[in-house]
Amino acid sequence: MESNVGIFGGTFDPPHNGHVAAALRAKRALGLERVLFVVANDPWQKSPDRTISPADVRLELVAHCLKDIDGLEVCDLEVARGGPSYTIDTVNELAAAEGVEDPWVIVGSDLATTLDTWERARELAELVRIAVLARPGSPLELPDGWRAVALESDDLDISSSQIRQLVATGQEISELVPVGVVHDIVAKGLYA
């Protein structure tokens, strides 16, 4: 049984330095051995509203983003499973395959109030603990009915949508994402 695991799920379109900083902060604050960056195959709450880069491309970007960072790992369970990505399925799969029990699900304060809309939310609430990361300028509210703690965030105010906009308008992003991610974005013509 392994209970000091963090699950940091997301679209990661693209992953950025803010994601890494948030995961490292959660790892330290919660005493986690590892934080899994779970790349959503089909982020069902976002995909109806905008075009999402292919899952295999986002998985590769996350791998570049986490290269050589101890304790942060890319996790392809949702991409390998296919279809819409539900955290409850990932939690159950990690329990069955790796003995992960009572993991921490790491979310930004913007998502904390939406947990009750997640697939099989009541079942999920019994299986996980929630670590809510404050985002600069966002109010921090812990979700009712969940075992949740608040974590301070650093002052990195970066978003994937901001990066996509900068790339689309030909602006510099090298301060916001690791060099391997910049290279892949350019090489694959993403967000242009």
Q: Residue 175: its pLDDT value, please? A: 94
Beta bridge partners of 10: 39
- C-beta separation of 95 from 107 below 8 A: no
Return the structure tokens found at 40: 């959503």
**pLDDT band (50, 70, 90) for residue 50:** confident
Return the structure tokens found at 118: 């997640």
Q: Is 137 helix (H, G, I), strand (E, B) or coil?
A: coil
Going from N- to C-terminal start, the domains of the chain cover 5-157
Give pLDDT tens digits for 95-146: 999 999 999 999 988 888 899 999 999 999 999 999 999 876 677 889 999 9
Question: Which residue carries 């779970």 as its tokens?
Answer: 38
Q: Residue 54: its pLDDT value, please? A: 94
For the cut 80, the answer to whether the pLDDT of residue 3 exceeds it is no
Mean of pLDDT values over 89-97: 96
Left if phi > 0, otherwise alpha if psi is -120 to 50, otherwise beta: which for 76?
alpha
CA distance 70 to 177: 18
- C-beta separation of 33 from 7 below 8 A: no
Q: Residue 42: its pLDDT value, please? A: 86
CATH superfamily for domain 5-157: HUPs (3.40.50.620)
Give pLDDT tens digits for 14-49: 999 999 999 999 999 999 999 999 999 988 665 567
Amino acid at position 162, single letter: Q
Return the structure tokens found at 120: 């099989």
Give pLDDT tens digits for 15-24: 999 999 999 9
Q: Residue 87: its pLDDT value, please? A: 96
Q: Residue 110: its pLDDT value, please? A: 83
Give the helix ranges, DSSP H, for 82-134: 87-98, 109-112, 121-127
CA distances in angstroms from 160 to 10, 11, 131, listed in the order given: 11, 9, 20
Return the structure tokens found at 87: 């955290």
CA distance 44 to 35: 23
**pLDDT band (50, 70, 90) for residue 192:** confident
- C-beta separation of 42 from 69 below 8 A: no
Q: Residue 76: its pLDDT value, please? A: 96
Among the listed residues 170, 163, 165, the one whose alpha carbon sits nearest the alpha carbon of residue 61: 163
Amino acid at position 29, single letter: A
**Percentage, residues of the chain above pLDDT 70:** 94
Give pLDDT tens digits for 155-187: 678 899 999 999 999 999 999 999 999 999 999
Q: Which runs of E-coded beta strand occur in 14-92? A: 34-39, 72-75
